[in-house]
Amino acid sequence: MSRFDRIYRIHELLCSARHPVPMRVFTEELETSRNTITRDFEFLRDSLGAPLEYCHEHNGHRYNPDAPVFELPGFWMNPAELYALLACEHLLENVQPGLVATRLAPLKQKIQQLLGESGHDAERISERIRIQPLQTRNAASQTFDPVAQATLSGRCLKFRYQARSGSGEKARYVHPQRLLHYRSNWGSVRPCRGTAPVLP
């Protein structure tokens, strides 16, 4: 049984019982060890803010009756949320070393923490569920940087290219309107001329 299932079952047992629930009930119902249940209790209290307490008089656990009614937060991810986190993790994994890389490290740790809160180990999720890019081409910085600069500053971009007709090298001026990341590749969108790849 995953942590996802155990947390929900523990919550159900605590909410449905009229008196504090003995540890024996949890271990039998969940078919797991006392140590595992104890760790789940800690997760409920420390990570989810559950008003879980031990009652010495009845030798069992309960939600504090004087605390506001506790409900499990909706942190169990739907497909869109799972894709968003995995896609972010995938993008961060592929960031080349640079000035921003060290600042992105805490963000990557936060994403892994959120994945772990789904009730499954974050590494197992990354291993079992993959985001597969399509025909990825790495945009060289000497090509990407001038296009990005021209796009963001609204300037005209001049470049030379080899004509397909074999008539030699030609020069061209374009006014890039925006950068587009489509099918795992970067492109520059120009007015009335569709999408021009950043890479030749």
Name the band, by pLDDT with cuts 50, 70 and 90, for residue 50. Answer: very high
Other CB atoms closer than 10 Å to residue 75's CB: what's the count? 12
Based on the number of CB atoms within 10 Å of its own CB, is 46 exposed (0-12), middle (13-18) or buried (19 or more)? exposed
The pLDDT confidence band at residue 34, using thresholds 50, 70 and 90, is: very high
pLDDT value, residue 56 = 92
Residue 4 has pLDDT above 80, yes or no: no
For the chain, which domains are there?
3-63 (1.10.10.10), 79-128 (no CATH), 141-197 (no CATH)
What is the spatial distance between Cα 118 and Cα 48, in angstroms, rounded to a whole number? 12
pTM score, whole prediction: 0.41
Helices (H), 61-155: 79-93, 101-116, 122-128, 141-153
Residue 52 has pLDDT above 80, yes or no: yes
3-state secondary structure of 118: coil
Q: Identify the pLDDT of residue 177.
A: 74
Rounded mean pLDDT, 56-82: 79
Question: How many CA atoms lie less than 13 Å away from 43 in the CB half-sphere?
Answer: 20
Higher pLDDT, 51 or 131: 51
pLDDT digits (tens, 9 = 90+) for 72-81: 775 455 566 6
Report the C-alpha gap between 34 and 22 in whole angstroms.
Answer: 11
pLDDT value of position 18: 87
Average pLDDT over residues 91-105: 64
How far CA 100 is from CA of 52, 92, 107, 109, 180, in Å, comes to 41, 11, 11, 15, 21
CA 17 to chain centre: 36
DSSP 175: -
Residue 187 CB burial class (10 angstroms; 0-12, 13-18, ≥19): buried
CA-nearest of 65, 50, 126 to 93 is 126
Mean pLDDT of the chain: 75
CB 170 within 8 A of CB 163: yes
The secondary structure element, H or E, covering residue 14 is: helix 3-16
d(CA 113, CA 152): 34
Q: Which one, of 17, 20, 71, 10, lies nearest residue 41 by Cα?
A: 10
